[in-house]
Chains A and B, each alone.
Chain A
Amino acid sequence: MILREQRSTLLEEVFRTDNGCVYQSDAENCFYIDFGGRAIKFSIGCFFRLKYLVDKINLPDMAANPERSSDVEIISPCACEHCYVLTLAEIVSLKELLAGAKVMLQLNSILKERLYRLVK
């Protein structure tokens, strides 16, 4: 909500969990991910690269590895100005958030196709 108030452009909520929220900006054709106390802007391509990187993390391996370096994971999508340094629990949360957002985006695509484009 803070993010929505900060932005002059209208942001639509795509998906929300207890730990974060993904917004879409129609004016800028991009997404904002509000997670871990930061709201970061992502282009469409960048958003899916981030999702790919998060999904690729082997959570069981991370949990089983006793080394301190495996306590956190640094996620830095190419061509993005920001990076995330996340613990295992945070990765699970981000994964859930991005997966939910993707489903909602696909649902939006299906609705647009079936309800609007076909009848125009």
Chain B
Amino acid sequence: MKDLLRLKSSLTEEIETILNDQVRKEAHSSALYLAMASWCDRNGYDNSADYFYKQSDEERGHMLKIFKYILDLGGSSVSPSIPDVKFEFNSFREVFEEALEQEVIITQSINNIVDRCHKVKDYMTVEFMNWFLNEQKEEEYVARRALELFDVIGEEGTGRWEIDRHIPKITYDAK
């Protein structure tokens, strides 16, 4: 009897499910960053708004990358619904704290996927997810640096204006 399951897809049902779950998480990140961009825009932090618009686009790019990978390997990608995206924040600082927390959540989730892939010997997906692990180094670095500006510059006086001015200048150099 032919192995129709394997002929149809290189992904096991379990890996397909956790990858689709990651698609949903990346889509949630994208939506959350868009909400952060909206908050920054409404409160006069133009540079930070642009930063979060860019982040939102990046997360959507990540979502699509996984979405297409599932399809390329013969699986079924599921377009996710994103309910209950946080829209209001208590302060400028809280926005960046949440951004860093979100990146930590994503890193942990990717680690879990790689761990699972190793256990079921799905090395194709391990190789694919390595790109995301590298990407998370940059994402966490930038989010952490942004938050550190609040302590380095301080929020008193024109501090928040200064922080907003420095946000676009944060870059990650892996060398």
Interface of chain B residues 1 through 50 with chain A (CB within 8 A): 1-8
Contact yes or no, A109 B2, CB < 8 A? no
A115–B107 Cα distance when bound, in Å, is 37
Interface of B toward A, CB cutoff 8 Å: 1-8, 76
Interface residue count on the A side (C-beta < 8 Å): 14
Interface of chain A residues 42 through 64 with chain B (CB within 8 A): 44-45
Contact yes or no, A109 B5, CB < 8 A? yes
A106–B4 Cα distance when bound, in Å, is 10
Q: Is A9 an interface residue (CB 8 A)?
A: no
Contact yes or no, A112 B6, CB < 8 A? yes
A113–B7 Cα distance when bound, in Å, is 12
Contact yes or no, A24 B2, CB < 8 A? yes
Q: How far is the CB of B111 from chain A (nearest CB, A)?
A: 26
Contact yes or no, B1 A45, CB < 8 A? no
Contact yes or no, A105 B5, CB < 8 A? yes
| Bitwise interface map of A from 72 to 114 toward B, beta carbon under 8 Å scored 1, else 0 | 0000000000000000000000000000000001101100110
A112–B1 Cα distance when bound, in Å, is 9
Contact yes or no, B1 A108, CB < 8 A? yes
Contact yes or no, A26 B1, CB < 8 A? yes
Q: With A44-B8, A45-B8 in contact, do A112 and B3 touch (Cβ < 8 Å)?
A: yes
Q: Is A69 an interface residue (CB 8 A)?
A: no
Residue of A24, A26, A31, A108 contacting most chain B CB atoms (<10 Å): A108
Q: Which residue of B lies closest to A14 (CB)?
A: B1
Contact yes or no, B3 A108, CB < 8 A? yes
A112–B5 Cα distance when bound, in Å, is 11
Contact yes or no, A106 B2, CB < 8 A? no
A12–B6 Cα distance when bound, in Å, is 17
